[in-house]
A and B are shown apart, each in its own frame.
Chain A
């Protein structure tokens, strides 16, 4: 009885935990273990070869740099949008707030089609960019654009509650002590929201790194130029090159887990700095 007491008093522990763990194991863990096992049973040289070919390296380079650039874009835009949504009351505020969620709710393939239509050379916005020499569709810029689109909500939604939770007295004290608004932002507000911005940044980078649906349409999928790593995995699979696909997947998984770990560390830092979030 003492063990049970320590767990909690409500019934249903065994049933709820048992079914959850069983379901996750069968649906998520076993297939992912399949990937790891496939990698473990492959020859080391084959994995090395498959993941360091010129085409693979080019795809990793593009995936990595574009997703970090997209995360950086999201950090800046996300902080601005979160600030505006939390601090100001204006007409159309709830419309802007709803637009932030569109990338979460819109299927990625639809996002890809939509961005391609708008930013191709004859699209609504692409036709204004083309004379400036900026080509978006079928270039690395298009990859970056699609990644920025899918990652947009992450920074906004992590920063928003932290920004809303900043004690109003701190800023008023800064003002009383003679700080201008910029100084107050730089010395009081920014240090407080920085962990949240970084958390949102890593979430956005992780999402961008694995993103597929929205990018295939706008990138043009040219090997060595606009081919992202997930796309190369699909290409390998279509050639029934399972070993090659697995090798690339392992590299990508490793990067995802590193980012997941970084997110956890950042969230802990954030909690330490601010105390438990007000939400």
Chain B
């Protein structure tokens, strides 16, 4: 995963003394700017422009509508469960992989990355096949009147599935780059396991951890494919923000859909600002 490795440990290497003529440089920079402008910046701007097309009143009405508020509530609830759990998992997995030698380490890393390679739709399908009415555990859950698929637990599980890798990857990148000498020193000075974690490792990985949490959170709040398969679209109950945007769009309420989408776009901008901040703070002195 390129995302994990390049950010925190940017190599500082001398530029070659030869370069291209100025017009060529100018042309290449312009081409890159035009590409990113047309493909990325213009669509991002269109989200906000369309959201505000009906005026500020219409915008506020769309995002304060009871359905929108319930979607915001579910999205926040899901992230509040999934992000801490995946952060704890990420720290544990990175600790095990970075500090110990054991058989099957490569396999474990591949497993952590697996949700990146599996289509979100298949993640949703997998949960339906296990926990759905006709799934492997369907009768057992039915008998206990527990609903997972087409209910909030399914939304949480689907979101957890697709966001498994983020924190683990970022924290692992930092731990592997910095080695475990300081932890070993703490150990010889008599620190307990939890003391080492709290006083040495956590301060060391804090920027990687923060960035991993920001990415995990953005994906958790924005996940669409996996959640849409398991949600069942129960109004006021299992509809997250992205699903709400889709529903409004399908009802030809473009302004409403983009107003809701603009909240998620703001979240993305916040994530990018976090990344810039982390990059600045963790740059080697």
Residues of A participating in the B interface, judged by any CB pair closer than 8 Å: 6-13, 15-17, 19-21, 23-24, 27-32, 34-35, 37-38, 77, 80-81, 83-85, 87-88, 90, 92, 94, 96, 98-111, 113-115, 117-118, 123-125, 148-149, 152-154, 156-158, 160-161, 164-166, 168-172, 175, 181, 184, 199-200, 203, 206-207, 209-213, 216-217, 230-231, 233-234, 237, 240, 242, 245-246, 249, 252-253, 256-257, 259-260, 264, 277-279
- In the complex, identify which listed stretch (B55-63, B65-73, B98-106, B139-147) lies at the interface while the others stay far away: B98-106
Q: Which of B2, B5, B111 has the most CB of A within 10 A?
A: B2
Cβ contact of A30, chosen from B130, B160, B215, B242, cutoff 8 A: B130
**Residue count of chain B within 8 Å CB distance of chain A:** 110
By a CB distance below 8 angstroms, the chain B residues around A158 are 2
Determine whether the beta carbon of A124 is less than 8 Å from that of B42: yes
Q: Which of A102, A104, A264 has the most CB of B within 10 A?
A: A102
Determine whether the beta carbon of B187 is less than 8 Å from that of A10: yes
Measured between C-beta atoms, what is the minimum distance from A234 to chain B in Å? 6
CA–CA, A37 and B43, complex, Å: 42
Q: Which of B151-187 contact A (CB under 8 A)?
A: 157, 160-161, 164, 177, 180, 183-184, 187
Residue of A nearest to B105 (CB): A17
Measured between C-beta atoms, what is the minimum distance from A168 to chain B in Å? 4
Task: Check A237/B128 contact, CB under 8 A, given A13-B100, A157-B2, A230-B119.
Answer: yes
Measured between C-beta atoms, what is the minimum distance from A137 to chain B in Å? 12
Determine whether the beta carbon of A110 is less than 8 Å from that of B268: yes
Q: Which of A20, A100, A154, A156 has the most CB of B within 10 A?
A: A20
Residue of A nearest to B38 (CB): A125
Determine whether the beta carbon of A212 is less than 8 Å from that of B121: yes
Residue of B nearest to A277 (CB): B5
By a CB distance below 8 angstroms, the chain A residues around B118 are 32, 210, 253, 256
Measured between C-beta atoms, what is the minimum distance from B76 to chain A in Å? 14
Determine whether the beta carbon of A233 is less than 8 Å from that of B18: no
Query: 28 A-B Cβ contacts within 8 A?
Result: A7-B101, A11-B192, A16-B92, A16-B95, A19-B92, A32-B114, A35-B129, A92-B33, A96-B32, A106-B222, A106-B268, A107-B219, A107-B224, A114-B46, A115-B43, A117-B47, A125-B42, A148-B39, A157-B2, A157-B3, A157-B6, A158-B2, A160-B2, A161-B6, A164-B10, A172-B18, A184-B18, A277-B5
Cβ contact of A153, chosen from B2, B14, B120, B257, cutoff 8 A: B2
By a CB distance below 8 angstroms, the chain B residues around A29 are 111
Task: Check A165/B13 contact, CB under 8 A, given A11-B193, A19-B92, A157-B6.
Answer: yes
Task: Check A110/B265 contact, CB under 8 A, given A80-B31, A92-B33, A118-B42.
Answer: yes
Measured between C-beta atoms, what is the minimum distance from A60 to chain B in Å? 13
By a CB distance below 8 angstroms, the chain A residues around B122 are 35, 210, 230, 233, 249, 252-253
Cβ contact of A37, chosen from B24, B32, B127, B136, cutoff 8 A: B136
Residue of B nearest to A86 (CB): B15
Q: Which of B42, B183, B196 has the most CB of A within 10 A?
A: B42
Measured between C-beta atoms, what is the minimum distance from A46 to chain B in Å? 15
Residue of A nearest to B131 (CB): A31
By a CB distance below 8 angstroms, the chain B residues around A37 are 136
Measured between C-beta atoms, what is the minimum distance from A119 to chain B in Å? 8
Determine whether the beta carbon of B229 is less than 8 Å from that of A237: yes
Residues of B participating in the A interface, judged by any CB pair closer than 8 Å: 1-3, 5-6, 9-11, 13-20, 24-25, 28-29, 31-33, 35-44, 46-47, 50, 89, 92-93, 95-96, 99-102, 108, 110-123, 125-130, 134-136, 157, 160-161, 164, 177, 180, 183-184, 187, 192-193, 196-197, 215, 218-219, 221-225, 228-229, 242-243, 245-246, 249, 254, 257-258, 261, 264-265, 267-269, 271-272, 275-276
Determine whether the beta carbon of B225 is less than 8 Å from that of A108: yes
Residue of A nearest to B112 (CB): A24
Determine whether the beta carbon of B246 is less than 8 Å from that of A109: yes
Determine whether the beta carbon of B134 is less than 8 Å from that of A242: yes
Q: Which of A157, A240, A257 has the most CB of B within 10 A?
A: A157
By a CB distance below 8 angstroms, the chain A residues around B11 are 161, 164-165, 278-279
Determine whether the beta carbon of B2 is less than 8 Å from that of A117: no
CA–CA, A153 and B268, complex, Å: 15
Cβ contact of B40, chosen from A102, A123, A253, cutoff 8 A: A102
Task: Check A175/B102 contact, CB under 8 A, given A20-B93, A35-B122, A105-B272.
Answer: no
CA–CA, A90 and B144, complex, Å: 63
Determine whether the beta carbon of B245 is less than 8 Å from that of A113: yes
Determine whether the beta carbon of A13 is less than 8 Å from that of B129: no
Determine whether the beta carbon of A105 is less than 8 Å from that of B120: no
Determine whether the beta carbon of A31 is less than 8 Å from that of B126: yes
Determine whether the beta carbon of A230 is less than 8 Å from that of B272: no
CA–CA, A13 and B224, complex, Å: 36
Task: Check A19/B89 contact, CB under 8 A, given A10-B184, A110-B261, A117-B258.
Answer: yes
Cβ contact of B224, chosen from A7, A108, A253, cutoff 8 A: A108
Determine whether the beta carbon of A124 is less than 8 Å from that of B130: no
Determine whether the beta carbon of B126 is less than 8 Å from that of A80: no
Determine whether the beta carbon of B128 is less than 8 Å from that of A242: yes
Determine whether the beta carbon of B164 is less than 8 Å from that of A27: yes
Determine whether the beta carbon of A9 is less than 8 Å from that of B130: no
